[in-house]
Chains A and B, each alone.
Chain A
Amino acid sequence: GNSVTQMEGPVTLSEEAFLTINCTYTATGYPSLFWYVQYPGEGLQLLLKATKADDKGSNKGFEATYRKETTSFHLEKGSVQVSDSAVYFCAPRGGSQGNLIFGKGTKLSVKP
């Protein structure tokens, strides 16, 4: 089945710093890849996704590129804000499975 390894946190950055959160996956077939975010006190919500190799998902200044050759989907943002403080989850879906398998999550704290 699908599985995912995600960079462990917590990650603490200053405002306007560059962010990378690494994510690699194993899967049977060709899954779609997702990043979900959980802001403090809120439910999980989709941040971005990519459904095939070399696709780039982007939203709110965040980007991630589906790299089939390295089975990776690293999340990046060029300049983080305090409001980006949240827990980020990488998740493959599909291939041989219909459910979404989540990484353990990476907690990001951005300081002013």
Chain B
Amino acid sequence: GAGVSQSPSNKVTEKGKDVELRCDPISGHTALYWYRQSLGQGLEFLIYFQGNSAPDKSGLPSDRFSAERTGGSVSTLTIQRTQQEDSAVYLCASSLATSRDTGELFFGEGSRLTVL
């Protein structure tokens, strides 16, 4: 498709289980971002991939969270041993590498995670 694609759109899991969320960026976009949107908390930056550079992981809230990006395209966000406070909408965005500072981020529809 033409836009950023995320899956699953909804995920309900039990506390303690691991989950994987997938993001397929716009073709040709080498920058990819993960954000978390919690009720009443706004948008929280998690991790940022830019081409072949080491990712900026400064926003990951704990070592239970990790992300990888294979082949410079698809990214997977993994949350291990999920907790109830992990419940949120996880948003992925991508942008062109040549517009590092000035370019628009294009967002996916998000993956809503509910941890019971």
Contact of A94 among B59, B91, B100 (CB under 8 A): B100
**Cα(A105)–Cα(B33), bound, Å:** 19
1/0 per position for B66-87, CB-CB distance to A under 8 A? 0000000000000000000000
| B-facing residues in A46-101 (Cβ within 8 Å) | 46, 49, 51, 89, 93-95, 97-101
Count chain B residues whose beta carbon lies closer than 8 angstroms to a beta carbon of A: 23
Count chain A residues whose beta carbon lies closer than 8 angstroms to a beta carbon of B: 24
Contact status of A43 and B102, CB under 8 A, knowing A99-B33, A102-B43: no
Q: CB of A45 within 8 A of chain B?
A: yes
Q: CB of B105 within 8 A of chain A?
A: yes
1/0 per position for A19-52, CB-CB distance to B under 8 A? 0000000000001101010000001111001010
Contact status of A100 and B45, CB under 8 A, knowing A31-B101, A32-B101, A93-B101: yes
A-B contact count (CB 8 A): 56
- A interface secondary structure, majority: strand
User: What distance in Å separates the Cβ of A39 from its nearest Cβ neighbour in chain B?
Assistant: 12
Contact of B108 among A34, A43, A94, A95 (CB under 8 A): A43
By the criterion CB–CB under 8 Å, are B101 and A94 in contact?
Answer: yes
- CB-CB < 8 A to B20: which residues of A? none
Q: CB of B18 within 8 A of chain A?
A: no
Contact of A99 among B45, B104, B108 (CB under 8 A): B45
By the criterion CB–CB under 8 Å, are B42 and A44 in contact?
Answer: no
**Cα(A84)–Cα(B56), bound, Å:** 34
Chain A to chain B contacts (Cβ below 8 Å), 16 pairs: A1-B58, A31-B101, A32-B102, A34-B104, A36-B105, A43-B107, A43-B109, A49-B102, A89-B42, A89-B43, A98-B31, A98-B50, A99-B33, A99-B48, A100-B45, A101-B45
A sample of 5 more A-B contacts (CB under 8 A), given A44-B107, A49-B102, A99-B59, is: A89-B43, A93-B101, A99-B33, A99-B48, A101-B45
